[in-house]
Amino acid sequence: MTRKITAMALALALLLGPAALADVYHISDENEMNFGRLCIDMIRAYEKPSPGDAAAIQSVLDAIGAMDANDRAVAEAIAEHWMRVYVNADGSYAMHIHDGGARATALEGTDIPDSPTHAFVVLGFKLKNGAMTDELTQRCEAAAAAARSFPQTILVCSGGVTGSNNPQKHTEAGLMKAYLTEKCGIDAARIFIDEDARSTVENAINTFEIMRARGVQTYTVVTSEYHQKWGQVVYNAMAAFYRQSVGYDVRLLENYSCNITSNPDYPNEARWAVYQLAVMLDLPDEVMDAIKRAI
């Protein structure tokens, strides 16, 4: 287990790069250990649920709140979303899957507003030989279907140069926009891209900056089915950071996924999600070590 988690840590360090969240939000030093405890309790509640999970998490939230009220607001947003999406104790969380059709029929009965104040956030995927993989094209097909069902909404794609053997320096976001316009017929004026992001953290920050500039109030994450909950953890945490730091309150409203249920590179995506969250929180090495030992 230690060897696997160490490999995971290295991969995530490369994935996240040097980007820091200090300019967006940084938890207080006094709460670093408490946030580490929260990460551990969340993954335990998912993998080994017990009647005491809610009380354990509430205890950590109280400890965080005793140190800093803003930290507590961030922690509550993270914990509540994790328990609703990953633990799903009451069975109310539903995944919406693209059926391959031209429209996103699974979303048409939801509360998504047909308005430019709603964004479909399309998560990228590493390029192969400078080109989109089948998984990324399927994510774009799902996004296009959503765009057709809600023709007044906008789409936000983020992702810079990725993958080896990419001499032309193609970007994920650039290729996604080209595919959405040229192959799917989506109006280019509706698609906003960030081609500068070099890491997952920068993807999220730049996406939120685009949405804030456009006055977006709600958003839907569009990705692969196996990646949906994981992606939501990252973006929900970033939303909490922005809400506490600059007062930008944008709400995750729905989910939509292409029908890819697994990826052999990520056999336990829940652990990747909680560990990536810990990296986003910029927890010190000793806290990260405690998390690795626990999971």
Q: What's the pLDDT tens digit per position in 86-136?
A: 999 788 899 999 999 999 999 999 999 999 999 999 999 999 999 999 999
Mean local confidence (pLDDT), 226-242 = 95
Structural domains for the chain: 2-93+268-294 (no CATH), 105-258 (3.40.50.620)
Q: What's the pLDDT tens digit per position in 22-34?
A: 578 999 999 999 9
The DSSP symbol for 140 reads H
Q: What pLDDT is attached to residue 89?
A: 75
- Cβ density class 191-220: b for 16+ within 10 Å, e for less: bbbbbebbbbbbbbbbbbebbeeeebbbbb
What is the rounded CA–CA span in Å between residue 83 and residue 163? 34
Q: What pLDDT is attached to residue 22?
A: 58
Q: What pLDDT is attached to residue 266?
A: 86
Cα Dmax for the chain? 54
Q: What is the pTM of this model?
A: 0.90
Q: 272 or 97: which carries more pLDDT confidence?
A: 97
Half-sphere exposure of residue 174, counting CA atoms within 13 Å on the CB side?
13
Give 94: exposed, middle or buried? Use CB within 10 Å, 0-12, 13-18, 19+: exposed
- Residue among 126, 127, 121, 161 at smallest CA distance from 140: 121
What is the rounded CA–CA span in Å between residue 206 and residue 159? 9
Residue 175, Cα to own-chain centre: how many angstroms? 20
Contact (CB, 8 A) for 104 and 256 = yes
Q: What's the pLDDT tens digit per position in 187-222?
A: 999 999 999 987 777 888 999 999 999 999 999 999
